[in-house]
């Protein structure tokens, strides 16, 4: 019956490009039929085990994991399947660093020890580098270099979800890859981070970053360029249609606006009609390329295609917080983007979607370790003055998540090495909010 890749999923009708590409590659290139199963939170473990036992009856027990989103229940599941005799493989961003864990465990025993006790192979990089030998017998870690000539022939029908039974997921939002990594993460640099505000006193710490300080994916991948235009078009051609239009897709590109007018030209030349394009992007892309956005909106309006700015990485409206996150933007820049969006919405009310009541979930990180009375006053004054809860801010903020292998993970370790610790770990996450002092 083939192999399974287990993953996190919310149950919403969106695809999982990484795991689904991996399953498609293993199926078509390695000859092992593979599906992806997204596990909902609070899934019935007993029924999952029953399903897996039946699925793997009379065949080699190799099972994959990817896109786990730090879920403790999924890390525990890997261990349980390992105990049952499965060969376990972890892929995706930070697979290798999650396998290895943090350093100097003997000196700092509370640190994350890695997944070596439950993962047989940690595979980093694109699935193109996976061979049958690696899949079936290699141990430890293996990294394959990112490049722009990637396998992207996705079988969008290979995704299922599991709550208390297996169910085929009818995807309504797909993904099309253009940018590999983030251009903002192209260059490494050294920055100085403030101590947490809950310290009575503490040192500034210098760390090396590549992109945003909290982004473990940027640190893992950096920026590796763009797939060529033909590969982008091939991916769009592969999407299913609804009412003679290609179904909605997210164009994966952190700075998509320069390419967007060209994409519309290419799509028009191929005779494709699009239902909706979703973008996840940085605020400075809108500031720099408003003209490209306007040009695209005019084209999209004439074609009856919608553009959803699904998530803009504002993250904060405090100068201090943005500096420590190394966002490369200021609160004033964020607010200028809000003005631009509201102006364009008046001109393209049916074409441009950006509001939270239109499906957008913009980045807003709160709380953070650097919150203090000044940052609070600064933030909420701007939120009130610009009525950001009206259209921009999500219904719930996201606490700052520090993955052990992000630049902020290194910041925490340097604080510990200077005697400011321990910081509690919960699997791959450093729970800075649990800090109780030396």
Answer yes or no: are the C-beta atoms of 23 and 155 closer than 8 Å.
yes
- pLDDT tens-digit map of 254-268: 999 999 999 999 999
**Could you say which of 1.20.1080, 3.40.630, 3.40.50, 1.10.10 is the CATH number of the domain covering 3-168?**
3.40.50
Alpha helix segments (H runs only) across 39-107: 45-55, 72-83, 95-100
Pairing mode of beta strands 87-91, 174-177 = unpaired
Answer yes or no: are the C-beta atoms of 36 and 23 closer than 8 Å.
yes
Partnered with residue 140 across adjacent β-strands are: 121
Residue 437 reports pLDDT greater than 90: no
Residue 1 reports pLDDT greater than 80: no
* C-alpha distance from residue 172 to each of 14, 140, 236, 272, 389 (Å): 6, 37, 14, 18, 27
For 379-400, the DSSP string reads: HHHHHHHTTHHHHTS-SS-BPP
Q: pLDDT value at position 110?
A: 97
Helix (H) or strand (E) holding 121: strand 121-124
Q: pLDDT value at position 334?
A: 99
* Distance of alpha carbon 124 from alpha carbon 126, whole angstroms: 7
Q: pLDDT value at position 438?
A: 58
What confidence tier does 279 reach under pLDDT thresholds 50, 70, 90?
very high
Other C-beta atoms within 10 Å of 437: how many?
9
- pLDDT tens-digit map of 108-144: 999 999 999 999 999 999 999 999 999 999 999 999 9
Counting residues of the chain whose pLDDT is more than 90, the rounded percentage is 96
Answer yes or no: are the C-beta atoms of 423 and 415 closer than 8 Å.
yes
Answer yes or no: are the C-beta atoms of 340 and 285 closer than 8 Å.
no
| Contact partners, residue 121, CB within 8 Å, separation at least 6 | 87, 88, 89, 90, 134, 135, 138, 139, 140, 141, 142
- pLDDT tens-digit map of 151-181: 999 999 999 999 999 999 999 999 999 999 9
Question: Domain segments of the chain: what residues?
Answer: 3-168, 174-434
- pLDDT tens-digit map of 34-66: 999 999 999 999 999 999 999 999 999 999 999
């Amino acid at each position: 019956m083939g192999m399974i890749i287990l993953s996190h999923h919310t149950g919403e009708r969106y695809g999982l490009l990484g795991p689904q590409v991996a399953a498609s590659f293993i199926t078509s290139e390695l000859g092992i039929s593979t599906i992806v199963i997204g596990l909902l939170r609070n899934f019935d473990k007993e029924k999952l085990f029953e399903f897996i036992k039946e699925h793997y009856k009379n065949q080699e027990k190799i099972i994959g994991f990817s896109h786990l989103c730090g879920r403790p229940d999924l890390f525990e599941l890997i261990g349980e399947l390992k105990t049952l005799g499965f060969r376990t493989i972890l892929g995706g961003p930070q697979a290798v660093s999650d396998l290895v864990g943090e350093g100097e465990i003997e000196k700092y025993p509370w640190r994350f020890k890695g997944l070596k006790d439950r993962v047989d192979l940690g595979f980093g990089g694109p699935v193109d580098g996976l061979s049958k030998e690696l899949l079936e017998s290699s141990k430890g870690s293996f990294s394959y270099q990112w490049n722009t000539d990637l396998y992207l022939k996705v079988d969008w029908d290979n995704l299922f979800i599991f709550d208390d039974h297996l169910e085929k997921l009818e995807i309504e939002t797909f993904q099309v890859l253009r940018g590999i990594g983030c251009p903002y993460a192209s260059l490494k640099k050294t920055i100085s981070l403030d101590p947490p505000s809950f310290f009575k006193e503490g040192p500034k710490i210098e760390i090396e970053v590549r992109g945003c300080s909290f982004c473990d994916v940027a640190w893992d991948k950096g920026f590796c360029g763009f797939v060529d235009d033909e590969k982008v078009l091939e991916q769009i051609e592969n999407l299913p249609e609804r009412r003679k239009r290609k179904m909605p897709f997210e164009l994966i590109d952190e700075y998509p606006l320069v390419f967007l007018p060209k994409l519309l030209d290419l799509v028009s030349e191929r005779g494709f009609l699009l239902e909706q394009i979703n973008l996840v992007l940085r605020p400075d892309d809108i500031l720099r390329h408003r003209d490209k956005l306007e040009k695209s909106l005019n084209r999209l309006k004439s074609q009856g295609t919608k553009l959803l700015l699904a998530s803009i990485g504002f993250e904060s409206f405090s100068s201090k917080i943005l500096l420590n996150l190394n966002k490369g933007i200021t609160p004033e820049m964020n607010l200028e983007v809000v003005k631009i969006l509201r102006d364009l919405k008046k001109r393209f009310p049916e074409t441009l979607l950006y509001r939270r009541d239109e499906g957008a979930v913009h980045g807003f990180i709160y709380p953070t370790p650097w919150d203090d009375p000044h940052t609070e006053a600064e933030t909420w004054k701007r939120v009130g003055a610009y009525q950001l809860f009206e259209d921009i801010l999500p219904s719930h903020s996201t606490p700052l998540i520090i993955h052990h292998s992000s630049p902020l993970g290194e910041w925490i370790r340097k604080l510990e090495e200077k005697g400011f610790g321990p910081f509690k770990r919960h699997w791959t996450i450093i729970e800075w909010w649990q800090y109780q002092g030396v």
